[in-house]
Structure 1
Amino acid sequence: MKNWINFPRVEGETSRQAHANFPANTFEREMGKEGFFGPATHFYHRHPPTGWTDFEGPLRPHAFDSTRMVHSGNSPWECKPILQNSDSLVALWTCNVAMDHLVRNADGDQLLFVHNGSGDLYCDFGHLHIRDGDYIVLPRGTMWRLEPFDSEPLELLMVEATGGHFQLPDKGIVGPHAIFDQAMLDVPTIDDQFRTQQSEDEWQVKVKVRQQVSTITFPFNPLDAVGWKGDNLAVRINWRDIRPLMSHRYHLPPSAHTTFVARGFVVCTFTLARSRATPAPSRCPSSTTTTISTS
């Protein structure tokens, strides 16, 4: 429990409700702690707070256009990093062909978001069909590989919880079943397709630890589990299964759309309300946005 200095005050001209009914001809600026989870103050300025004319020095505003980035290679450890700090690593990777080796992230839990494509995921927990719009959480230490279907490559956003874990957000007074019920989380299965890929052929595992890659060679495929039990799980949820909180009168903060929580950051999904029964497009539409928010 954090004991914040916390006695709200009002000074000068303000709105009574944050994000609504600003004083005439003003622009709101929010300054907060812990992302959207700590104390915050809203200022009302006569000029846009982003109305700069020049930047000098190492600080720069950034806007990333991932469509212009070249990202390929036959291993996710050859990904294109975009952002990185002590808590997270955000990168892009395109899997064009079936991986001929396994990978294991020893630096933290791995989150994959499938922008485009479909295919098969094989991991310690079993086999899972994946498609565009899927989030896949792979616990730290999981061995895995991907096989894209022939129609198109798998285009992935990869988020690492460096030294940490992905968890579900506290949904507060709306209850644990809001946004999505945990019953919607799919888990890989040890099915016939998983058993078929088990072999006595030589396999390599490329392990990333402290952001360096080492290779372990086995005289067999180490994805050879016949069963497992426990609650440290690889799970999958698709954005189409998310039922977002919505309000026509109140500006919901990004934290209201949190899908996963990790140390120092959250992953939010901004999507239109729709049911699973609605016919889905073949690609994730522009109205669906995944955002990484750091504290």
Structure 2
Amino acid sequence: MTHSEGLAARQAHVALPEGTYEREMGKEGFFGPAAHLYHANPPTGWIDWEGPLKPRAFDTSKFADGVDCPWKAKPLLTNAHCKYRHLLMSQPMDHLVRNGDGDELIFVHDGEGSLFCDFGHITYSEGDYILLPRGTMWRLEPATPSKLLLIEATNDSYRLPEKGLVGPHAIFDPGVLQIPKLDDAYKAQQKKPGQWKVVIKRREQLSTVTYPHNPLDVVGWKGDLTVVKLNWRDIRPLMSHRYHLPPSAHTTFLASRFVVCTFVPRPIESDPEALKVPFFHNNDDYDEVIFYHKGSFFSRDNIHPGMISLHPCGFPHGPHPKAFAAGAKAAKKETDEVAVMIDTRDALDVASAAESVEFKGYVATWNPEGFRQAAE
């Protein structure tokens, strides 16, 4: 049963009472019970902040050291169910890897090249997701320096979200998913002589198995388990010109304890009564992480491609003041941002590599007049 007290909108995110700021207090990542509270001041209008719980941001563009193995990728954010890493690779791998801990999801921020795996050969380029089932043997051959996110579903499997009333072909048609091919490039690499090593990661420990031949010697396969590739340009987001949809409407992949969402360009709500920017909210069951891939991020200030924001659960967050003002004036007709979001049910730990590229002034960007911190 829905209750109401005092000054409130009849419908969430629509026709807010004049001079108020709506905050959604929700459960279960926008799927559960929720309350909408109407404030006289922005819920993010803080002027000071102390303690470990706070909004944080990290700049992966500052990483310059490449590695020759995905298991050397810099860990950024981790918990028992999710490992979030940054990988910079320029040279072809001379060995194979296998993840025994869970499915691996690669997002290509920059670069292009080839991935060889049990199922064949597939090329990659900017904006691709590549989903590697747990146990897959694979290696990369970058054609240009490649900056990649690795998002591991530890002891878990990725799956596609249920699309309900909009049907299975909404958001993206499964027909756009690409699979590796047993093509000439795959057959050619099978002929490389000599020993091959497979480095297996299990329980964050590495083991190496040596073969006298290339173990990517598959001549055929069948089944409904394979490596798949999806580019953000094939994602066609759900839209409503009269209502601002929650982030969960943009879910791309699901695991048991976190979700992966993709924000891609879309028209901004045209209804004059509809909220046109992300609403203030405290998503009190999930930590929220956004990787900013491409475009102009109108809901965030002091953000550029390659940066990551972390909003742990426990406090309200939302658009920066400039974005809120611009959205209210409807100056922009469509977004041009591309970003990858994960919401994790379990709290994330920040690794030392992330701390080394942290933008310490991020917490101040909602109210730069109230207090200032120097950005590193």
TM-score by length of 2: 0.70
CA distance in 2, matches of 1:44, 1:294: 27
Establish whether residue 292 from structure 1 lines up as the match of residue 292 from structure 2: no
1:207 to 189, 200, 212: 200
Between 213-222 and 169-178, report the one with greater CA deviation.
213-222
Establish whether residue 176 from structure 1 lines up as the match of residue 168 from structure 2: yes
The superposition leaves residues 75-115 of structure 1 with CA deviations (integer Å, 9 ceiling, x where unpaired) of 11111222111221111111111011111111110000111
Establish whether residue 123 from structure 1 lines up as the match of residue 117 from structure 2: yes
Between 73-82 and 34-43, report the one with greater CA deviation.
34-43
**CA apart distance, 1:71:** 5.0
* Inter-CA distance 93–132: structure 2 relative to 1 (3 Å threshold): same
5+ residue gaps, structure 1, are: 1-6, 275-283
CA distance in 1, matches of 2:46, 2:98: 44
Give the conservation status (yes or no) of the 8 Å contact 1:258–1:268: yes
Establish whether residue 25 from structure 1 lines up as the match of residue 19 from structure 2: yes
Q: Name the amino acid aligned to 1:173.
A: L
- What SS does structure 1 have at the residue aligned with 2:56? coil
Q: Percent identity over the alignment? A: 56
CA distance in 1, matches of 2:255, 2:190: 33
Aligned to 1:3: none
Give the conservation status (yes or no) of the 8 Å contact 1:71–1:92: no
TM-score by length of 1: 0.89
Aligned to 2:128: 134
Aligned to 1:221: 214
**CA apart distance, 1:273:** 5.0
- What SS does structure 2 have at the residue aligned with 1:197? helix
CA distance in 2, matches of 1:146, 1:19: 45
5+ residue gaps, structure 2, are: 268-292, 296-336, 346-376
2:227 to 206, 228, 234: 234
**CA apart distance, 1:52:** 2.5
CA distance in 2, matches of 1:167, 1:120: 24
- What SS does structure 1 have at the residue aligned with 2:130? strand
RMSD: 1.7
2:89 to 85, 95, 98: 95
Aligned to 1:113: 107
Q: Which has the higher contact order (CA 8 A, sep 6+)?
A: 2
Aligned to 1:278: none
- Stretches of 4+ aligned residues off by more than 4 angstroms: none
1:39 to 33, 41, 54: 33
Q: Name the amino acid aligned to 2:294.
A: P
**CA apart distance, 1:70:** 4.1
Give the conservation status (yes or no) of the 8 Å contact 1:72–1:78: no
CA distance in 2, matches of 1:58, 1:272: 34
CA distance in 2, matches of 1:81, 1:70: 15
The superposition leaves residues 137-186 of structure 1 with CA deviations (integer Å, 9 ceiling, x where unpaired) of 0000111001011xx21111111111111111111111100011111110
CA distance in 2, matches of 1:260, 1:49: 30
CA distance in 2, matches of 1:202, 1:101: 9
CA distance in 1, matches of 2:65, 2:72: 8
The superposition leaves residues 238-279 of structure 1 with CA deviations (integer Å, 9 ceiling, x where unpaired) of 1111111122211011111111111121111111259xxxxx
Aligned to 1:13: 7
1:259 to 239, 252, 256: 252
**CA apart distance, 1:23:** 2.1
2:150 to 136, 144, 158: 158
**CA apart distance, 1:189:** 1.2
Report how many aligned residue pairs link the two structures: 278
CA distance in 2, matches of 1:65, 1:31: 29
CA distance in 1, matches of 2:263, 2:19: 29
- What SS does structure 1 have at the residue aligned with 2:8? coil
Q: Name the amino acid aligned to 2:200.
A: V
1:147 to 138, 141, 146: 141
* Inter-CA distance 247–127: structure 2 relative to 1 (3 Å threshold): same
- What SS does structure 1 have at the residue aligned with 2:71? helix
- What SS does structure 1 have at the residue aligned with 2:57? coil
Give the conservation status (yes or no) of the 8 Å contact 1:71–1:80: no
